[in-house]
Amino acid sequence: MTRDSHKIARRMSLIDASGIRKVFDLAAKMKDPINLSIGQPDFDVPEPAKRAAIEAIQKGFNKYTQTQGTAELREAVAKKCAAEFGWKDDRLFLITSGVSGALLPAFLALVDPGDEVIIFDPYFVMYTHQTNLCGGRPVLIGTYPDFRPDIQRLADAVTDKTRMIVLNSPTNPTGAVLGEREIRDIAEIAAKRDLLILSDEIYEMFCYDQPFVSMAKHYENTLLMRGFSKSYGMTGWRVGWCTGPRPIIEKMTMLQQYSFVCAPSMAQAGALAALDCDMSPQVRAYRRKRDMVCDSLKGKFGLVRPGGAFYAFVPAPGGDATKFAAKAIEKGVLIIPGNVFSGRDTHFRISYATDDKTLQKGLDILNSL
């Protein structure tokens, strides 16, 4: 029965979750699937971070924190940035409920109806949906077949309506990592119109073949976002952070005050301890898994070697990813068809953030298809 009081706001018709929901619906019916679909690390939160969060709870650190996050965590993040970028200014930092908790206030604060947001395709799903929610228009720039940004196409896509460029390196879902030349070229295009670049660097630690290059190092008008979910296996703890132009961080902080209020207090205490933990063994293990995926699939699938994150974006045999994913799922392997992340449906995403045995089993089945 539909009731007037259940009428849904029009903006909700601008987003849908059909692609990914189909995968989850299928998965729910499976017994012990080989799950190569999950975008989260299989390693656990480092012990010192767990201890700090438990201690915080036991000491009664269970109330709201300041909207912008605890002073200790903001200072620690600022210190890290000062070391990495040489920043000496007293810039604002906002501790958020994951990078997701930074993205939504950013889009709400920045995108007006009719504004264009430039997004490289394939992309992380939130970017297009949040643009749409704000009444903006995602302007997609395809990066197929090698997932490198085409600088001329970027330059051509900029119009009077362009509000910002969204960048995500290392990239979900392709694993592509932008090099210094590419970062500089993109910065140069943005600088011509003083465009804002939103740089989502949540996978910054997972860079396997070259040092990570941050847009924030090369372009001042950058809204920088990083998180703890992937780097420290804390997806459920919900902590991230954001910094950038002061007026934007101020408005995002105001939105946080009226929505999420603050990131979880004990998780902020845990995140502070996490910053001192060495995650290089985990990153090395993921590099090895990346090699495992490439060695196994290169013969039959001809994939582009991913340089970071923990995903591979693999051409689907026959060029129909939804069909191929359905076949894989029939055989017990969960993968995600490319149309969830792209205007095209020619590739599928696998996440190799799982144990070696499960990964090998999954790869063997994919090869057998």
Query: Phi and psi (nearest 5°) for 334?
Result: -90, 120
Spatial separation of the C-alpha atoms in residues 35 and 37, rounded to whole Å: 5
The greatest distance separating any two alpha carbons of the chain, rounded to the nearest whole angstrom, comes to 60
Burial of residue 148 (CB within 10 Å: 0-12, 13-18, 19+) is middle
**Using the rule CB under 6 A, is 224 a contact of ligand PLP?**
no
**Using the rule CB under 6 A, is 170 a contact of ligand PLP?**
no
**Using the rule CB under 6 A, is 200 a contact of ligand PLP?**
yes
- Of 75-83, 95-103, 155-163, 252-260, the segment contacting ligand PLP by CB under 6 A is 95-103
**Using the rule CB under 6 A, is 147 a contact of ligand PLP?**
no
Number of residues in contact with ligand PLP under rule CB under 6 A: 13
Q: Which of 124, 301, 310, 348 binds ligand PLP (CB under 6 A)?
A: 124
**Using the rule CB under 6 A, is 185 a contact of ligand PLP?**
no
**Using the rule CB under 6 A, is 135 a contact of ligand PLP?**
no
**Using the rule CB under 6 A, is 263 a contact of ligand PLP?**
no
Minimum separation from the CB atom of position 222 to ligand PLP (A): 15
Q: Which of 19, 46, 69, 240 binds ligand PLP (CB under 6 A)?
A: 240
**Using the rule CB under 6 A, is 214 a contact of ligand PLP?**
no
**Using the rule CB under 6 A, is 306 a contact of ligand PLP?**
no
Q: In this chain, which residue has its C-beta nearest to ligand PLP?
A: 98
**Using the rule CB under 6 A, is 131 a contact of ligand PLP?**
no
Spatial separation of the C-alpha atoms in residues 244 and 220, rounded to whole Å: 8
Spatial separation of the C-alpha atoms in residues 222 and 190, rounded to whole Å: 10
Q: Which of 162, 235, 257, 322 binds ligand PLP (CB under 6 A)?
A: 235
Q: Which of 37, 65, 100, 296 binds ligand PLP (CB under 6 A)?
A: 100
Tokens of 201: 């660097």
Letters for 25-44 (x = contact with ligand PLP by CB under 6 A, - = none) are --------------x-----
Q: Which of 128, 130, 143, 229 binds ligand PLP (CB under 6 A)?
A: 229
**Using the rule CB under 6 A, is 201 a contact of ligand PLP?**
no
**Using the rule CB under 6 A, is 162 a contact of ligand PLP?**
no
Q: How far apart are the first and last CA of the chain?
A: 45
Residue ranges in contact with ligand PLP by CB under 6 A: 39, 98-100, 124, 168, 172, 200, 202, 227, 229, 235, 240
